[in-house]
Structure 1
């Protein structure tokens, strides 16, 4: 599919983007998540500067992404260990 032009509003600023049609929904959802998080920080903290709110938002999502990456790495390691163990068991079983 082709590229389309869209406008995304983040923290009261409009950003024109060209995106693949398949990515449009994801990008719009991401912008909504960012705006919701900025609004939450604005309501719960004495921060009014949009740059500070966006920085807090970026820190939140970067931390979440790193935690998810670490979790996936641990799960991949556990799966690899189990597959290795099963392979050894099967090898022992079939070598008898």
Structure 2
């Protein structure tokens, strides 16, 4: 569609952004998720410095992303094996 200008608040700071209209909802949800996680860390740990809270938040999301990537790669290996097994069975079946 087109780009729009939005303002995103993360850790009490405003960030003006230009984003595609299709991405606006995802970006706003991401900012809300970050702010929620920061609030959770602030309530559960004796940390008040925004930089420390943001670092903890980045670590949390990066860890989650790497775990998801690992699971995805494992799933891909399983799918490739299953397709190869199926191909072998079909080849054997049609060569009889």
Partner of 1:45: 45
Q: Spell out, residue by residue over 1:1-39, the C-alpha distance to the aligned partner (whole angstroms, 9 max, x if none).
A: 100000000000000000000000000000000000000
Partner of 1:60: 60
CA distance in structure 1 between the partners assigned to 2:93 and 2:4 by the alignment: 57
* Runs ≥4 residues deviating over 3 A: none
The Cα of 1:65 is off from its aligned counterpart by: 0.4
Partner of 1:92: 92
Name the SS of the counterpart of 1:9 in structure 2. Answer: strand
Name the SS of the counterpart of 1:46 in structure 2. Answer: coil
Aligned residue-pair number: 96
The Cα of 1:49 is off from its aligned counterpart by: 0.1
